[in-house]
Structure 1
Amino acid sequence: MELRQLRYFIAVAEESNFTRAAERLRISQPGISAQIRQLEHDLGATLIDRSGRSASLTSAGEAILGHARAALAAAEAARHAVAEVNGLLRGRLTVGMVTACTVTPLFDALASFHRAHPGVEITLVEHNSDELIEQVRGGVADLALIGTADEPPQGLEAMPIISERLVAAVPFGHPLAEPARVTLDDISAYPIVCLPEGTGIRAVFDQACAAKGIRPNLALQASAPSTVANLALRGLGVAVLSESMAVHYEGLQTLVIDDIQTLAVLSLVYNSGKSAALRELLAHCRHSFLAAPADRLVSATADLATG
Structure 2
Amino acid sequence: MDLRQLEYFVAVAEERSFTRAAERVHISQSGVSAQIRQLERELGAELFDRSARAATLTAAGHAALGHARAALSAAGSVSQAVGDVTDLIRGRLTVGMVTGCTITPLFDALAAFHRAHPGVEVRLLEDTSDRLVDGVRSHTLDLALVGSARAEHEGLDAMTIVSERIVAAVQADHPLARRSSVTLRDVSAHPVVCMPPGTGLRTVFDEACAAQGLRPTIALEASAADAVAGLAARGLAVAVLSASMAAPHGGRLTARTIDDAPSPALLSLVWKPDRSPAAREFLRYGRRAFTGGPDDGADGRVTTTAT
CA RMSD of aligned residues (A): 2.1
Length, aligned pairs only: 220
Tell me whether 264-273 or 223-232 shows the greater mean CA deviation: 223-232
8 Å CA contact 1:152, 1:269 repeated in 2: no
Matched, 1:84 2:84: no
Q: Secondary structure at the match of 2:248?
A: coil
Quote the offset at 1:297 in angstroms: 4.7
218 and 117 in structure 1: CA distance in 2 versus 1, 3 angstrom threshold = same
Instruction: Give the whole-Å Cα distance in 1 for the aligned partners of 2:100 and 2:262.
Output: 27
Q: Which amino acid is 1:149 matched to?
A: A
Gaps of 5+ in 1: 1-80
Instruction: Give the whole-Å Cα distance in 2 for the aligned partners of 1:83 and 1:248.
Output: 48
Residues 131-174 of structure 1: CA deviation (Å, up to 9, x unaligned): 11110011100101111113232221001111100000111121
Q: How does 1:245-264 map to 2 (within 5 A)?
A: 245-249=245-249, 250-264=251-265
Quote the offset at 1:86 in angstroms: 4.9
Quote the offset at 1:227 in angstroms: 1.6
8 Å CA contact 1:146, 1:266 repeated in 2: yes
8 Å CA contact 2:291, 2:302 repeated in 1: no
Instruction: Give the whole-Å Cα distance in 2 for the aligned partners of 1:150 and 1:260.
Output: 14
Q: Radius of gyration: which is bigger?
A: 2
Quote the offset at 1:189 in angstroms: 0.9
Which residue of structure 2 aligns with residue 203 of structure 1? Answer: 203
Q: How does 1:232-271 map to 2 (within 5 A)?
A: 232-249=232-249, 250-271=251-272
Q: How does 1:220-231 map to 2 (within 5 A)?
A: 220-231=220-231
8 Å CA contact 1:194, 1:240 repeated in 2: yes
Instruction: Give the whole-Å Cα distance in 2 for the aligned partners of 1:237 and 1:278.
Output: 41
Instruction: Give the whole-Å Cα distance in 1 for the aligned partners of 2:302 and 2:151.
Output: 18
Q: Secondary structure at the match of 2:175?
A: coil
8 Å CA contact 1:180, 1:256 repeated in 2: no
Instruction: Give the whole-Å Cα distance in 1 for the aligned partners of 2:258 and 2:101.
Output: 26
8 Å CA contact 2:171, 2:235 repeated in 1: yes
8 Å CA contact 1:194, 1:241 repeated in 2: yes
Tell me whether 221-230 or 112-121 shows the greater mean CA deviation: 112-121
Instruction: Give the whole-Å Cα distance in 2 for the aligned partners of 1:134 and 1:86.
Output: 27
Quote the offset at 1:276 in angstroms: 2.5
Q: How does 1:66-81 map to 2 (within 5 A)?
A: none
Gaps of 5+ in 2: 1-77, 294-300
8 Å CA contact 2:100, 2:223 repeated in 1: no
Q: How does 1:16-31 map to 2 (within 5 A)?
A: none
Instruction: Give the whole-Å Cα distance in 1 for the aligned partners of 2:107 and 2:291.
Output: 14
Quote the offset at 1:120 in angstroms: 2.2
Q: Secondary structure at the match of 2:177?
A: coil
Q: Which amino acid is 1:253 matched to?
A: T
279 and 174 in structure 1: CA distance in 2 versus 1, 3 angstrom threshold = same
TM-score (norm 1): 0.67
Quote the offset at 1:103 in angstroms: 0.9
8 Å CA contact 1:180, 1:254 repeated in 2: no
Q: Which amino acid is 1:291 matched to?
A: G
Which residue of structure 2 aligns with residue 126 of structure 1? Answer: 126
What percentage of aligned pairs have identical amino acids? 55
Quote the offset at 1:178 in angstroms: 2.2
